[in-house]
Amino acid sequence: MGGQAFDQGVSALLASYRAIPPNATVRLAKKTSNLFRKRAANPHPGLDVSGLDRVISVDPDARTADVAGMCTYENLVAATLPYGLAPLVVPQLKTITLGGAVTGLGIESTSFRSGLPHESVSEIDILTGDGEIITATPTNEHADLFFGFPNSYGTLGYSVRLRIELEPVKPYVALRHVRFTSIAELQATMETIVTEKTYDGEQVDYLDGVVFSAHESYLTLGRQTDEEGPVSDYTGMDIYYRSVQNKTTDRLTIHDYLWRWDTDWFWCSRAFGAQNPKIRRWWPKRYLRSSFYWKLIGLDQRWDIGDRLNARKGLPPGERVVQDIEVPIEHTTDYVEWFLDNIPIEPIWLCPLRLREPALPGSDPVRPWPLYPLEPQRAYVNVGFWSAVPVTPGDPGHTNKIIERKVAELDGHKSLYSESFYEPEEFDELYGGESYRLLKKRYDPRGRLLDLYAKAVKRQ
């Protein structure tokens, strides 16, 4: 991208900020989003971030990259892999932006050893609600914003430039799919791997899992390798998540491993018929990717296509249950078995995580990220489930509400990219209410940006 192009993008961003009326809420002028919650229409022009969508530079010696906030991970990985480097955590979908994964939350199969994407950021330029671009680091005068930015979802400012750590990667990933017939056994094995980073005498570099039922679940263990050999391709007729059931070992290029879930949006492409072999054979390969499925979801949200089709079949409308939650790893069995007994959705995804150690310089050793307060030195498991269930008459959001209650009961949290139904007091307790108010007062004193509760729960 280069510094000159980046500077032009920043100039366009600031000009668009100045063009927004002083009494209007500041929002991005984005046509696409990785959020599953509906937003109220913005009657005013938004921030022009079109010039902030590339990698600025890669320093292979320092193993860092300077990246514009709207750069997608697809473009970021394309810029770093030629150096044999990759971000420490690469979220599963190509359309997720680095800035989105930091101000929201991202996770992937390296999270059991590398934490979450914001933990590999060393400095960040942020456009605040006052229209000022400031640089926040773990130790400077804006350290409070540096640590408070994750999980703020653009309500404390927007990332303009981020400097991130990179790690060396080898050309291939060798996979083992280990089957379990009980969730408790899977949990015990996962706990051991998170602690020891090995399994059956072999190093584990990547770790996630899929649950198909209470009696059929898998952990996928990945190991980096430079050993040449045949590799699988899951960008055409073959479907990755089905290979987990059908193979005990596998090999992918590092590029294809990082994007193994994108071709079928995990397993959600089946909702569009894309996993039907007769349809898939004629489905253009360039449309087997998350960015196209997002367009289909946008059409559904606009025209209620799914509910209309259900009505023709005499079926009730659907309640969308699209969530990622975290519970302490020791509660994995409790949560997953409860979910399988009560929520008619399968498969579900498991991804263990642990905050990086040691905590970044200048961070609070107890709770370094106040708006999503996971405990250091404690392992968690992300559970992802993305589908719909029949609406409960007279109780909008019924299934999502009981999920929220169960997660809270097990000392967990859930991400805020989708629908939430918390009351203000509970939301305040779970998502760093007092810390958030102090940050809001300092960096958005005129309230130009939406409030987090208003954005995440009220869906303004």
Q: Give me the mean pLDDT over the 161-176 stretch.
A: 98
In a domain, 274, yes or no: no
Q: Is the overall model pTM greater than 0.85, yes or no? A: yes
pLDDT at position 294, please?
86
Secondary structure element (H or E) that encloses residue 207, with its range: strand 206-213
Geometric angle at alpha carbon 115, from 337 and 349, rounded to 5°: 30
Cβ neighbours, 10 Å, residue 123? 18
Q: Residue 240's pLDDT is what?
A: 98
Of 20-34, 186-200, 299-313, 368-382, the range with the lowest mean pLDDT is 299-313
Summarize pLDDT for 286-297 with one digit per residue, the tens: 999 999 988 888
Q: What is the average pLDDT score of the chain? A: 92
CA gap 38, 436 in Å, rounded: 23
- Number of folded domains in the chain? 1
CATH code, domain with 60 = 3.30.465.10
Query: What's the pLDDT score for residue 314?
Result: 72
- 359 pLDDT more than 60: no
- How many alpha carbons fall within 13 Å on the CB side of residue 135? 7
Q: How far is CA 34 from CA 31, 104, 113, 357, in A?
A: 11, 10, 25, 29
d(CA 233, CA 42): 42
In Å, the largest CA–CA distance within the chain is: 62
pLDDT score, position 299: 75
**Picking from 23-27, 76-80, 102-106, which range would have the lowest pLDDT averaged per residue?**
23-27
**Cis preceding linkage at 328, omega within 30:** no
pLDDT tops 90 at residue 371: yes
Which residues fall within 8 angstroms of residue 112, CB to CB, at 6 or more apart? 193, 194, 207, 351, 352, 353, 354, 379
Closest CA to 268 of 238, 252, 244, 288: 288
Q: Is the pLDDT of residue 219 over 70?
A: yes
Instruction: Tell me whether residue 197 is in a domain.
Output: no
Contact in structure between 166 and 86 (CB atoms under 8 Å): yes
Q: What is the pLDDT of residue 45?
A: 75
DSSP 228: -
Question: In 3-state terms, what secondary structure has residue 262?
Answer: coil
Is residue 75 included in any domain, yes or no?
Answer: yes
Q: Would you say residue 71 lies in a domain?
A: yes
- Before 358, cis peptide (omega within 30)? yes
Q: Is residue 87 part of a domain?
A: yes
Instruction: Give the percent of the chain with pLDDT over 70.
Output: 91
pLDDT recorded at residue 22: 87
pLDDT band for position 364 (50/70/90)? low
Q: What is the mean pLDDT of residues 445-454?
A: 95
Q: Span 429-433, mean pLDDT?
A: 95
Q: Is residue 247 part of a domain?
A: no
pLDDT at 41: 57
Nearest Cα neighbor of 108 from 39, 157, 169, 56 is 169
Q: Which two tokens stand for residue 420?
A: 């939430």
Does any domain span residue 233? no
pLDDT in tens, 238-274: 999 999 999 999 999 999 999 999 999 999 999 899 9
User: Residues 421, 319: contact at Cβ < 8 Å?
Assistant: no
Is the residue at 281 inside a domain? no
Could you tell me the pLDDT band of residue 410, with boundaries at 50, 70 and 90?
Answer: very high
Give residue 397's pLDDT band: very low, low, confident or very high (50, 70, 90).
very high
Handedness of CA 282, 286, 290, 294 (dihedral sign): negative
Q: What is the mean pLDDT of residues 118-141?
A: 96
Tell me the two tokens of residue 327.
Answer: 């519970």
Range of the domain at 143: 3-169+449-458
| Spatial separation of the C-alpha atoms in residues 362 and 183, rounded to whole Å | 39
Mean pLDDT across 381-395: 94
